[in-house]
Chains A and B, each alone.
Chain A
Amino acid sequence: MSGTIALAIGICMTSCAAAGIGIGMATGKAVEAIARQPEASKSIRSLLLLGAVLVESTAIYGMFVSFLLLAKM
């Protein structure tokens, strides 16, 4: 049983990979936008931060679920 739960925790951690891909894409686009229009960098930066925070919350939900699973082990 505990082996299955450990596997489930491992699968939960794929949410980290998803969040990493998401933040990478958002940052890449933001760098492109700033390179094209350096004077708009301030508003782009706050939008990038907001997007990164929203993407990151998926990874945090994954961590929360894995904590819950760890309690059952």
Chain B
Amino acid sequence: MNISEILDNSSVKTVFNINIFNINIPITESIIMMWIISLILIFIALILSLKLKKVPGKRQGITESIIEFISNLCEDGIGEKGKKFVGFIGTILLFLVIANLIDILNVMIFNIDIIPPTKDLSVVIALSIISISSVIYAGIKYRKFSGFAKSFFSPVAIIFPFKVLDYLMKPVSLTLRLFGNISVGYLIMAIITSLVPLIIPSFLSLYFDIFDGLLQAYIFVFLTTLYIGEAVEE
């Protein structure tokens, strides 16, 4: 048995291929799911941001509470420079929330098997690489390159290899946390629905799909804000 087979759960199928200049680009199920999620997010954003007024109504209240939640999250984690990161953090949070919750639709639509894209290891690796490179970018931007490089030797010079190891392990643990939680939750739900197809899965789905998905999306961006705050502070 191959290790990549287990980690991919061997269920990420290639739907079709695109050929550009003799380079074969496989389009997998999770990429198509991410296109659908982007369409859903664009649609929601268009509905929520239509005709904004000075005195908010019901619809604008929802929009403002979402944005306030994200900016509070950024300011708690990063500090006074948090306002600059609201766009980035908000994008990742909203994407992860929809991506983790989309397999609820499995209950309603029986013929199509919807997989959450965060169950694909390569999607999660890409997200955590984006996150860690934004941490490094923020460190270099706000402390200059010399200040950021000095932070690797900050209390004593001997700490340097541990700091490098720290920056290498951060994306690994982010990846394994999100991927492990989502794929194990999906696996447990699949096992339970094959054993007891009635009633019991609906209660367990509240925990494994909704609560766990929302919590993991929140934890991913929470840790990203903490890492950015650590890199930015003087």
Interface residues of A (CB under 8 A from B): 46, 49-50, 53, 56-57, 60-61, 63-64, 67-68, 70-71, 73
Contacts and interface: CB of A to CB of B under 8 A. Distances in A.
B177 A60 contact: yes
13 contacts: A46-B76, A46-B222, A49-B222, A50-B222, A56-B177, A57-B173, A60-B177, A63-B176, A64-B180, A67-B3, A67-B7, A68-B3, A71-B3
Nearest to B77: A46
Interface residues of B, number: 15
Contact of B180 (A50, A53, A60, A71): A60
Contacts of A64: 176, 180
A67 B6 contact: yes
B101 interface: no
A56 B173 CA distance: 10
B176 A61 contact: yes
Interface string B1-32: 11100110000000000000000000000000
A22 B75 CA distance: 29
Nearest to A42: B76
A53 B3 contact: no
Given A46-B76, A49-B219, A71 B176 contact: no
Interface in B192-234: 219, 222-223, 226
B180 A70 contact: no
Given A63-B180, A64-B176, A68-B3, 13 more contacts: A46-B222, A53-B177, A56-B177, A57-B173, A57-B176, A60-B177, A61-B176, A63-B176, A64-B180, A67-B7, A71-B2, A71-B6, A73-B1
